[in-house]
Homo-oligomer: A and B are copies of this chain.
Amino acid sequence: MRSVVKFGGSSVADIEKMKTIARYLRNRSISGEELVVVVSAMGKTTNALLSMAREAAQNPSKREMDMMLSTGEQVSIALLTMILEAEGQEAVSLTGYQAGILTEGLHTRNKIKDIDIGVIEKHLSQGKVVVVAGFQGYNREGEITTLGRGGSDTTAVALAAKLSCPCEIYTDVDGIYGVDPRIYPKARRLASITYEEMKEMAFLGAKVMEPRSVDIAHHYGVRLYVGSSSEGKPGTVIQEGENSVEERSITGVSVLENIMMVTIHPLKNVSENTAKIFSKLAKEEINVDMISQSPLPDGSVSVSFTASAEEEPVVRTLLTELLSSMEGVELSIRADILKLSVVGSGMRTQSGVAARLFELFSENAITFLQVTTSEISISYTLEKKYKDQAVQLIADAFHL
């Protein structure tokens, strides 16, 4: 029996917490398990490094950021390994490079290209717990790289994929909830969820796992488990759909804040102009999310899309310049909105979810601005003020 086990930053925040983890790992190893452990940087280490970098340079090169940030995980793996050895457990630490994690792409947001698991297999066969630095790898030029947000989850899942074993992610929360318990205290932890539902949830702001790592798990069929490292409570299993669809029509509601909605209208020569707009945005690497378009009586259209509110200055400059050549076209950007998504693989087989949602909004005088749908989700942009009311109405109506 072999597992990849990942511990996040707050569960390795100090030496005491690492000692708890080490004893836990020791017990599992004694009972015959082969363990590969992935750890993040300790608690506030990354922030401390970032603030030093800011003091050094206004806009430090990303290669050097990777050089610096990767040290956080390197300290964690050395300490956890020392503690394991002090507990009588043979162990070895490996940086991303030593673990054979080859990456490609841009510094600070590399993607894993492949993993040469030879070194890990060798150490496992010698009975060692192998402690791998999350979030980092190396590229073909031999440079140190990092994987960007949620990178340690990605490391863990990719290792599990290559080592053909399940992956356990230990974090601050004790599992996946259908609704944010801070908004809806009656929310229940889900015992299981499909990869696709989890991906929709992740993309839509559930924040428990990065979508990339769920994608990898899905693609390679890695059984994922998400749970709390500090409590004995059962967490949530993420796996293939057949067994876990049950009778649920809706699995969860998620809310994405900190977004803006951009509307352009009236737009003529529709396909030519929308192409211009979205290719320009893509070129500047602006991540566009919901896109909706409505026809106007004169044959022109109104186009709206959402994006991260952080992109506001760039998008405004970009579009103002682009639209200056199109007569009479207006640009409006709203930041007082949020995106609310209702997710459930049950939607494929049960009708009426969309209808019930429209009824709910209408009965309670909640107006929405855009709506888009996928096979297993419906998303709305709403004014922020409706957030709690809308989430509670949906949670009650669908017994989440």
Contact = CB atoms under 8 A, between A and B. Distances in A.
A64 B81 contact: yes
Interface string A92-115: 110101100000000000000000
Nearest to A14: B55
B57 A83 contact: yes
Measured as residues with beta carbon below 8 angstroms from the partner, the interface class of chain A is 35 or more
Contacts of A79: 52-53, 56, 64, 68
A369 interface: no
B98 A82 contact: no
A185 interface: no
Interface in A218-257: none
Given A49-B75, A71-B71, A82 B95 contact: no
Interface string A44-79: 000001001101111111011101101100110111
A15 interface: yes
Contacts of A82: 53, 56-57, 60-61, 64
The oligomer's copy count stands at: 2
Chain A residues touching B, majority SS: helix
A81 B53 CA distance: 10
Nearest to A68: B78
A52 B59 CA distance: 31
A76 B56 CA distance: 11
9 contacts: A15-B52, A56-B86, A57-B85, A59-B86, A64-B78, A67-B74, A67-B93, A74-B74, A97-B97
